[in-house]
Amino acid sequence: MARLLFKLAQVPDDEAAEIRALLDEHQISYYETDAGFFRVGLDAIWLADGVQEEYARELIRTYQAERAVRQQQNYAQLVEAGQVPSVWQHFCAQPIRFIAVTAAIIFVAGLTLIPFVMLLRNA
């Protein structure tokens, strides 16, 4: 029976390619499904049978731990080099969009809090 191994929804292409390469390297047979045109399916990597499931899951766990360390180091290097934009730099780059998004956040937060404020007034 097929076993779901790894969901590919919102996974970067490079990570998905590295997972495929890892499975190929360790000779684990798998197949992929996509969500289809209307996105009602599941983007995923599946194992044809559960024989190698634990081994494959352990490989992926190890890979993801290593990837997390790499990505954190990469981010730290970008911050150190000053290549990660600050809030002020975001504002300067697109002031109208920044103000619109900030206003939308305040509006939605206000709508969300209105019932609670009304309850407090009536209490």
- The reported pLDDT for the residue numbered 50 is 86
User: Are 31 and 72 found together in one domain?
Assistant: yes
| Beta-carbon contacts of residue 10 (< 8 Å; ≥ 6 apart) | none
Question: How many other C-beta atoms can be found within 10 angstroms of the C-beta atom of residue 13?
Answer: 8
> Other C-beta atoms within 10 Å of 99: how many?
11
**76, 91: one domain:** no
Residues 9 and 51 in one domain: yes
Same domain, 63 and 34: yes
Q: How many domains does the chain have?
A: 2
pLDDT band at 72 (very low <50, low <70, confident <90, very high): very high
For residue 111, the model assigns a pLDDT of: 95
Return the percentage of the chain with pLDDT > 90, whole number.
Answer: 84
Q: Beta partners for 55?
A: none
pLDDT digits (tens, 9 = 90+) for 28-67: 999 999 999 998 999 999 998 889 999 999 999 999 999 9
* Alpha-carbon span 77 to 7, nearest angstrom: 29
**Position 100 pLDDT exceeds 80:** yes
Q: Please tell me whether residues 72 and 104 are part of one structural domain.
A: no
With tokens 């992926």, the residue in question is 60
State the pLDDT at residue 86.
Answer: 87
Mean pLDDT of all residues in 77-105: 93
- Residue-range definition of the domain harbouring residue 52: 3-80
Specify whether the CB–CB gap between 48 and 2 falls below 8 A.
yes
Residues 17 and 65 in one domain: yes
Let me know whether 33 and 48 are in one domain: yes
Averaged pLDDT of the chain: 94
